[in-house]
Amino acid sequence: MNAVFKQRRARVGWMTLVLAGLFLMAVLRLIVLVEFDGPRLVSLAKSEHTGETELAAVRGPIVDRNGEPLALSAETRSVYARPAAVFDTTTARERASLAAALGLRPRELEAKLAKPAPFVWLVRRVSPARARAAEALGIEGVGALSEYKRFYPESNLAAAVVGLAGMDGQGLSGLELEYNRLIRGEPVELSFYHDALGHPIFDSPFALRTPEPGAQLKLTIDSSIESLAETELASEVQQSGAKRGAAIVLDPFTGEVLAMANVSAQPDSVHDRLHNAAVQDAFEPGSTMKGILASVALSDGAISLNKQIYCEEGHWTIDRRTIHDDSRHGWLDLAGIIEVSSNIGAAKIALGLGANRYYDGMRAFGIGLRTGIDLPAEASGLIMKPSTWRAIDLANHGFGQGVAVTPIELATAYAAIANGGLIVRPYVVAAAYDAQGNVILRHTPQVMRRAISPEVAHQVNLLLRNVVNGPNGTAHRAKVDGFIVAGKTGTAQMVNPAGGYYQNRHVCSFVGFLPADDPRLLILVVLYDVGHGHFGGLYAAPVFSEIASGAVRDLNIAPVDGHYDVAGMIPVPGLGKAGKELDEAAAPDSGDEIPALTGVGSPATPNFSGMSLRRALAVARKIGVTPQVNGGGYVVAQEPAPGAPLSHADIRLTLAPVQGDEPEARARLVTAGAAVPGGAL
């Protein structure tokens, strides 16, 4: 009996130990699961039973200074699917019908549905009609949501400034990138829950948060001036054989950028939006640096207006290097050196100034520094430290070789000469408004520093006028009828990456401002990679003249010597005295009063060149005619020509989104039989 009892007690004891051991193992496993594997398992459970995606909100519009839209968002539909539900409730034939409705091949649809995900996009941003066709099939697990697609109503106008937004609503370049946080709005967060078989737990699988539309950006850009700048620049790029060109128009007192044109000889709609040469590319400025040299030398007292410098009859050797002038000159004062653009004279002024003082003066003008413009990826020019300069380096820097600037950098520096000596930060966004119209950002003129005194700025202003108006000036083709223009030409050899300079590849430029007595516009034109003999005065200066002529009309800037009655009218470019009659008949801005068409004594045909369609129609209505319109965007050609009688004529306008070379359009600016000096406009 005792033996049997002892055996039972032993068995119970062993069983107790085994159960205690198993319990201890379970406890230890639980501790491991909770303390060590818990976060991983929780995350895994969430990923298996929940899904999230993000829908972009409505990106805010981008408009020019007059409210003309440059970037908008249009509502589209995106079709999604829950693959498990689709496979459970459909046949292969039904899925083929779904593929046809979405414009997909059946195997493409099957591949999308085969992805190991509880939620997939079948198509993104398609027309509402296509989305409705898919939803009308009534397939469980298939639905559509509203998304927004970015488009640019003026095509590539100001493309590099406006930039590009991607499929997901993210800014990729330009203002779309720089102000992405403001204009993208608050995206919609989409969450859904399902069981182990992929079926939704709730009646509605979506939890949507109300989206906040993005802010509207109002730019300083004027679409009419921008269109004109791109048109004239594209024409000259083609005619001169340049690889590309850039032009900037800004208010020298406020820093507002009215136009920033970038044109390539081989346009690429995507690349043109991704790269802004006016802000991101540097070049050697050549003789445009002489205006800055004169400013620094006068400020420092290194030269006076009356001092004579011997220009060596066109050839001068220093450090076993020869500096050349384009023509032979003897003794010249500072005005003469600037007027004829003597490299030797500029080199001697730089040597007299000294490396350290010239370097400090250039830095005061912002050479080698970013301007701070509100555009992404701004590059800076390049100036080596003066301790590394040899005598020949200092001499070369005097006429703009061995120094690199960006177009916006050079334009900002010359704006200081125009405005009395102040470096003003350039900007392209005037203000930003939320969806309710409240101002959330406003830019105002910002003075960065003083480069030169007002007295020196005035002296250099007078010197630069000789470049355009002097008998030996290098930029006679920069003249604008009725206005005094001050400016400087530049031609520089392009740097060879392998070392030295290309002999037959140049950058030519012209930078100037008008009216010189009260500057309202600062315009820079740069043509890259042109052949030998393509001087800034011959190729860049005429582009300046055409842009300036259109801009003064657009902004109603009155000619200094014009009669009050025609103060807001712009002369036909290039006609000079021979076109005086057409000058008086040229069209006023659309805001001016235009008499109704009355037959005899009716007004002349306005100059519609560069106007948007809306503006052209407004002008036409005021003269009592309805124009025939071909194309869209901005006016590149018209019939009848500006100045022609309107009594028995309809107006025919040809428009293009981005204006290219239109020889016919330029020819039509002159009425039949009108004389054109030199045989060309």
Per-residue pLDDT, 261: 96
H-helix or E-strand spanning residue 429: strand 429-433
Q: How far is CA 215 from CA 13, 209, 362, 438, in A?
A: 78, 18, 39, 9
Give domain 223-554's CATH architecture.
3-Layer(aba) Sandwich (3.40)
Per-residue pLDDT, 193: 56
Largest CA distance in the chain: 143
Q: Which residues contact 487 (CB under 8 A, 6 or more apart)?
A: 464, 467, 468, 475, 478, 510, 511, 512, 513, 541, 544
Q: How far is CA 458 from CA 412, 416, 423, in A?
A: 17, 11, 15
Per-residue pLDDT, 540: 94
Q: Give exposure, 25-56, as e/b (b: 16+ Cβ within 10 Å).
A: eeeeeeeeeeeeeeeeeeeeeeeeeebeeebb
Per-residue pLDDT, 568: 29
- Long-range contacts, stretch 134-137, CB < 8 angstroms, 24+ apart: 134/79, 134/98, 134/101, 134/102, 135/79, 136/101, 137/94, 137/97, 137/98, 137/101
Residue among 71, 229, 228 nearest 163 (CA): 71
C-beta atoms surrounding 579 within 10 Å: 25
Could you give the CA distance from residue 428 to residue 257 in angstroms, rounded to a whole number? 5
Over the chain (681 residues), what is each successive 10-residue block's mean pLDDT?
72 81 82 71 60 69 95 87 88 90 90 86 86 89 83 92 87 95 78 53 48 90 96 94 95 96 87 92 95 96 94 91 91 95 96 96 96 95 94 95 96 96 96 93 93 95 95 94 95 84 90 95 95 83 96 88 33 32 32 34 72 71 72 76 70 65 34 28 24
Could you give the CA distance from residue 540 to residue 529 in angstroms, rounded to a whole number? 13
Q: Would you give the DSSP letter of residue 387?
A: G
Give domain 52-219's CATH architecture.
Alpha-Beta Complex (3.90)
Q: What's phi and psi for 205, nearest 5 deg? A: -80, 0
Amino acid at 270: V
Per-residue pLDDT, 632: 62
Could you give the CA distance from residue 247 to residue 543 in angstroms, rounded to a whole number? 9
Q: Give exposure, 287-305, as e/b (b: 16+ Cβ within 10 Å).
A: bbbbbbbbbbbbbbebbee
Which residue blocks in 420-533 are alpha helix, DSSP H? 454-469
- Among all residues, which ones are annotated catalytic? 287
Per-residue pLDDT, 49: 56
Per-residue pLDDT, 52: 56
Helix, strand, coil percent values for the chain (each to nearest 5): 40, 25, 40
Per-residue pLDDT, 211: 67
Q: How far is CA 13 from CA 21, 25, 422, 453, in A?
A: 12, 18, 98, 105
H-helix or E-strand spanning residue 173: strand 171-173
- Long-range contacts, stretch 464-473, CB < 8 angstroms, 24+ apart: 464/291, 464/338, 464/417, 464/488, 464/512, 464/516, 465/516, 466/335, 466/338, 466/339, 467/338, 467/339, 467/341, 468/512, 470/339, 472/336, 472/339, 472/340, 473/339, 473/340, 473/537
Asked if 365 contacts 449 with a C-beta cutoff of 8 angstroms, the reply is no
Could you give the CA distance from residue 282 to residue 355 in angstroms, rounded to a whole number? 22
- The helix/strand/coil state of 640 is coil
Asked if 486 contacts 464 with a C-beta cutoff of 8 angstroms, the reply is yes
* DSSP-assigned letters across all residues of 534-563: --HHHHHHHHHHHHHHHHHHHTTPPPTTS-
Per-residue pLDDT, 210: 58
Spacing of C-alpha 518 from chain mean position: 27
Per-residue pLDDT, 20: 82
pTM of the prediction?
Answer: 0.71
- Cβ-in-10-Å burial (0-12, 13-18, 19+) of 493 comes to middle
**480: number of CA atoms within 13 Å, CB side?**
32
Per-residue pLDDT, 613: 66
C-beta atoms surrounding 608 within 10 Å: 26
Per-residue pLDDT, 581: 30
Q: Which two tokens stand for residue 253?
A: 């007192």
